[in-house]
Amino acid sequence: MAGTLPALGLGGLAVPGAAHAASPDAPLHIVCIGAHPDDPESGCGGTLARFTAAGWRVTIVYLTRGEAGIPGKTHAQAAAIRTAEAEAACRILRATPVFAGQIDGATEFNHARYAAFIELLRPRRPDLIFTHWPVDTHPDHEVAALLGWRAYLALRPRLGLYLYEVDLGGETFGFSPNHYVDIGAVVAQKKAALFAHQSQHPAEIWDDYHREMENFRGREAGVQQAEAFVELTRLWPQGGLPNVLS
Ligand SMILES: [Zn+2]
């Protein structure tokens, strides 16, 4: 495989940031962007659990509150239910939820939206950003991917940008990972976070999609269960990022 995420990957590579992470004064900070409540948990909940266990701070930025995601409920009703579910999932992962204020099914990517999104993230000073892979059947996932990419370019988090899949073969297409994280030790924690989203029929989704995806990525990586990523970290031409993943 091409490499690993800092601090947590497979293959015993160097652990940039580990000493830093141990400092209570300055824990490293991950910002994970998802279009809807349950997307970050689906694509990288295990990885986020490993990072928080290692002392990193994790903020999950939900672009929407899943307003359109419960049949028979109004947007306001669904948003209230799914906000509470996202907050419960974040407690399980020991992450901090932030809601970015767009609307499920009607997300927008334009200059004003990405400028506002960058300013939402700027004071949080992420060291590393996760977001969706953009080639996806759900337009909100595409928007979240592009907002994450814009935030990455603007804020230059020093440990890079990693894109995650949410539903291989169902929503995520053309995804060819170059990084894997072994999540075998935290599968139960990830599953609990997913099952916090009771309005989304988690048992069916787990059986039909997530378990299959983790096992498939695990086979690729040579472990039981893994999550997979595309790393898009850029080496900035001037004053740039350290090549922490070499
Ligand atoms: Zn979604």
pLDDT digit string, tens, across residues 114-163: 999 999 999 999 999 999 999 999 999 999 999 999 999 999 998 899 99
Range of the domain at 162: 22-230
CA 140 / ligand 1 centre spacing (Å): 7
CA 180 / ligand 1 centre spacing (Å): 21
How many CB atoms lie under 10 A from the CB of residue 188? 10
DSSP string of 61-126, one letter each residue: EESS--TT-STTS-HHHHHHHHHHHHHHHHHHHT-EEEE----TT----SHHHHHHHHHHHGGG--
Question: Does residue 244 lie in a domain region?
Answer: no
CA 24 / ligand 1 centre spacing (Å): 34
Domain count along the chain: 1
Mean pLDDT of 185-203: 97
R_g (Cα) of the chain, nearest Å: 17
CA 139 / ligand 1 centre spacing (Å): 9
pTM listed for this prediction = 0.88
CA 17 / ligand 1 centre spacing (Å): 31
Structure confidence by residue, pLDDT tens digits, 69-113: 999 999 999 999 999 999 999 999 999 999 999 999 999 999 999
- Cβ-proximal residues to 195 (8 Å cutoff; 6+ apart), any chain: 202, 203, 206
Question: Does residue 242 lie in a domain region?
Answer: no
pLDDT of residue 17 exceeding 90: no
pLDDT of residue 2 exceeding 50: no
SS3 128: strand
CA 39 / ligand 1 centre spacing (Å): 5
d(CA 129, CA 60): 10
CA 206 / ligand 1 centre spacing (Å): 15
Half-sphere exposure of 51 (CA within 13 A, CB side): 27
CA 216 / ligand 1 centre spacing (Å): 21
CA 141 / ligand 1 centre spacing (Å): 6
Tell me the CATH number at 123: 3.40.50.10320
Question: Does residue 4 lie in a domain region?
Answer: no
CA 193 / ligand 1 centre spacing (Å): 15
DSSP string of 196-223, one letter each residue: T-GGG-HHHHIIIIIHHHHHHHHHHHTS
Per the DSSP assignment, residues forming a β-bridge with 33 are 61
CA 64 / ligand 1 centre spacing (Å): 9
Question: Does residue 9 lie in a domain region?
Answer: no
SS3 175: coil
Sign of CA dihedral 101, 105, 108, 109: positive
Helix axes 111-121, 139-155, angle to 10 degrees: 60
- Model confidence at 167, in pLDDT bands (50, 70, 90)? confident
Question: Does residue 56 lie in a domain region?
Answer: yes
DSSP string of 179-195, one letter each residue: EEEE-GGGHHHHHHHHH
pLDDT of residue 66 exceeding 50: yes
pLDDT of the residue at 172:
93
Question: Does residue 239 lie in a domain region?
Answer: no
CA 164 / ligand 1 centre spacing (Å): 12
Question: Does residue 12 lie in a domain region?
Answer: no
CA 108 / ligand 1 centre spacing (Å): 15
CA 58 / ligand 1 centre spacing (Å): 19
- Model confidence at 26, in pLDDT bands (50, 70, 90)? confident
